[in-house]
Amino acid sequence: MQDAITSVINSSDVQGKYLDASAMEKLKGYFQSGELRVRAASTISANAATIVKEAVAKSLLYSDITRPGGNMYTTRRYAACIRDLDYYLRYSTYAMLAGDPSILDERVLNGLKETYNSLGVPVGATVQAIQAMKEVTASLVGADAGKEMGVYFDYICSGLS
Ligand SMILES: CCC1=C(C)/C(=C/C2=NC(=C\c3[nH]c(/C=C4\NC(=O)[C@H](C)[C@H]4CC)c(C)c3CCC(=O)O)/C(CCC(=O)O)=C2C)NC1=O
């Protein structure tokens, strides 16, 4: 896993250089947004179950997916879906704190698309639910932090598509 600091340092190190102006700008932006990130992460962790529940209500509930024949039908599969959304929320929060998406590649997206395809989990509906989480999260943490979280929700969606 990388973070904003290691990724800037690694790319300078590869070139055998001190950090140049644009690397310094990147770091400055990361440090300046530090408090925003920490505050957002604590709001999200205190409201995680609500965020997932509201996102499901906005996107999946009362659709064909929760009826017989749908992929969320039966409590076992419904619970698996809720659990997956909670993974996406938790790992997006980690990535937002780190300011880097690599943790999502390593711990979430690796093999996920193949797993979903083999189990018939619909990717389109999953993306809709993640987009709904993005909206619910932004309404809770505010526009700036919401935008930052949105980067990582979108990263998962494009990794799945
Ligand atoms: C931390 C990294 C991590 C991820 C991301 C993860 C995902 C993941 N989701 C799974 C299943 C599943 N995922 C879903 C999810 C959904 N079905 C829908 O219709 C909705 C659109 C959607 C929720 C948004 C469902 C229903 C299953 C069970 C499918 C089945 O067994 O038939 C499975 C198969 C094994 C299992 O059932 O536990 C994995 C590995 N596991 C992990 O360890």
Rounded distance from Cα 112 to ligand 1 centre (Å):
9
What's the pLDDT at 139? 98
- The phi, psi pair for 71, rounded to 5°, reads -70, -20
Ligand 1 proximity of 94 Cβ (cutoff 6 Å): no
Q: What are the 10-residue block averages of pLDDT along the chain, 161 residues in total? A: 96 96 96 97 98 97 94 96 98 98 98 97 98 98 98 98 93
Rounded distance from Cα 84 to ligand 1 centre (Å):
6
Count of beta carbons in the 10 Å neighbourhood of residue 44: 20
Q: Which atom of ligand 1 is nearest to the CA of 129?
A: 24
Q: Which atom of ligand 1 is nearest to the CA of 77?
A: 26
Distance of CA 78 to the CA centre of its chain: 20
Q: How far is CA 107 from CA 90, 94, 110, in A?
A: 11, 11, 6
Specify the 3-state DSSP secondary structure of 69: coil
Rounded distance from Cα 52 to ligand 1 centre (Å):
15
Q: How far is CA 95 from CA 69, 71, 72, in A?
A: 35, 28, 27
